[in-house]
Amino acid sequence: MIKELLARRRQGHRTMGYPREPAVLPELFRGYPRLSPELCPSDCDLCVAACPVGAVTRHGSLALDLGKCTFCPHCDQGCPHNAISFTADPRLATRRREELLLTAGEERRLAEPLGKELLRLFGRSLKLREVSAGGCNACEADTNVLSTIGFDLGRFGIQFVASPRHADALFVTGPVTENMREALLKTHGAIPSPKLVIACGSCAISGGPFRGSPEVHNGVDAFLPVDLYIPGCPPHPVTILDGLLRTLGKMP
């Protein structure tokens, strides 16, 4: 026992300081996009053509749909005018789907806290039941990281549970394949009301790179009302954590 205590003392504190301290992110991390349409000639659509998922559009003004975006390098590398670039800001989650559509000059919108009654119920303890509805395991892997000592999701009163009967929210990853549709709906039905639905990753929001396939349903909001959208492909664990904390009103 003494050896274990000494080893723990040598290791020190391993849990990250976020949200009290800024998150330390990898150098190549691609976060919130920056749009500069004033740099983009009116006859240039290279960024639109380069986007493999149709997230970039130009119908009167340059726009980017974070719900479709896979945060690949094609649009910014394919634009010779630097009209699109990506910052290192991991704060991406919103409460409404339309708030993921970015246009230059619009005020940035982040996830807002739940209403007073839901905060009373879930503010101190939120149990999540995850369903991988045909995901590739990238979103699932970054979600699992949140339960490790580095992030320690439980310190905020948020935990993943094995049974929907013990859950307060349905946490969905993947584009909702036809084979997972019934399982997803049954899991949602087994969660006691009131309950939340969280769409994590571009697949769960819009179908991601599988959008339009006859085998998927282009995201969870085709069936269920979504309370929190967390974009990314996959979302960084800090992006997921930030969205959950903002929804629960736990940001300092």
CATH numbers and ranges of domains, the chain: 116-247 (3.40.50.12280)
Buried b (16+ CB within 10 A) or exposed e, 126-153: bbbbbbbbbbbebbbebbeebeeeebeb
Q: Is residue 42's pLDDT more than 80?
A: no
- DSSP helix/strand/coil, 40: coil
Quote the percentage of the chain above a pLDDT of 70.
Answer: 100
Residues 51-65: what's their mean pLDDT?
Answer: 90
Whole-structure pTM value: 0.93
- Paired with 103 in beta bridges are 63
Residue 1: per-residue pLDDT: 81
Residue 234: per-residue pLDDT: 96
Strand 158-160, strand 169-173: pairing: unpaired
Of 80-84, 124-128, 177-181, minimum mean pLDDT range: 80-84
Residues 194-201: what's their mean pLDDT?
Answer: 98
Q: Is residue 59's pLDDT more than 90?
A: no
Binned at pLDDT 50, 70 and 90, residue 241 comes out as very high
d(C-alpha 216, C-alpha 232), whole Å: 18
Q: Is residue 37's pLDDT more than 90?
A: no
Binned at pLDDT 50, 70 and 90, residue 10 comes out as confident
Residue 5: per-residue pLDDT: 78
Of 9-23, 86-100, 211-225, minimum mean pLDDT range: 9-23
Furthest-apart CA atoms within the chain: distance in Å: 71
Strand 84-86, strand 33-35: pairing: antiparallel
Mean pLDDT of the chain: 93
Residue among 86, 75, 85, 81 nearest 40 (CA): 81
